[in-house]
Amino acid sequence: MFMSGSQTEGDITEEEVQELLLDIARETFPDETELMITSTKSETVGWDSLGNLNLIMAVEDEFNVEFSEKELENSESIEFLYNTIIQKIYD
């Protein structure tokens, strides 16, 4: 279960960010059986342009962040999203 954008800097650990991100990805791509932090767009069932949009919207809502157009274009892996989220909430 997600926390609906309730997390702010200092309220969440990097480990919790990773777990929440993976939970969001698993909900967004339910047909994918093995999602990990290293999972990529090209190897994930359902991670097409619509899936990417759904994933990004859920991540933005959950972590109360906004991705730039360049970041959207570069969102090719769970790890990229994780690193971007960490940058946004801790920098």
Q: What is the pLDDT of residues 28-76, one digit of tens each?
A: 999 988 999 999 999 999 999 999 999 999 999 999 999 999 999 999 9
Q: Would residue 1 count as lying in a domain? A: no
Residue 7 has pLDDT above 50, yes or no: no
For residue 28, give the CATH number of its domain. 1.10.1200.10
Domain count along the chain? 1
User: Around Cβ 54, how many Cβ atoms within 10 Å?
Assistant: 17
Domain range holding 31? 18-90
Residue 4 domain flag = no
Residue 54 domain-assigned (yes or no): yes
Confidence at residue 17, expressed as pLDDT on a 0 to 100 scale: 97
Q: Which residues lie below 8 Å from residue 12, measured CB to CB, with a gap of 6+?
A: 20, 89
Residue 13 is predicted with a pLDDT of 95
pTM above 0.75, yes or no: yes
First-residue to last-residue Cα distance in the chain? 26
CA distance 57 to 51: 10
Confidence at residue 10, expressed as pLDDT on a 0 to 100 scale: 57
Residue 43 covered by a domain: yes
Residue 33 forms part of a structural domain: yes
Q: What is d(CA 59, CA 44) in angstroms, rounded to the nearest whole number?
A: 17
* The residue to which tokens 């093995």 are assigned: 34
Q: Is residue 25 part of a domain?
A: yes
Which region, left, alpha or beta, applies to residue 75 given φ > 0 means left and ψ of -120 to 50 means alpha?
A: beta
Residue 3 lies in a domain: no
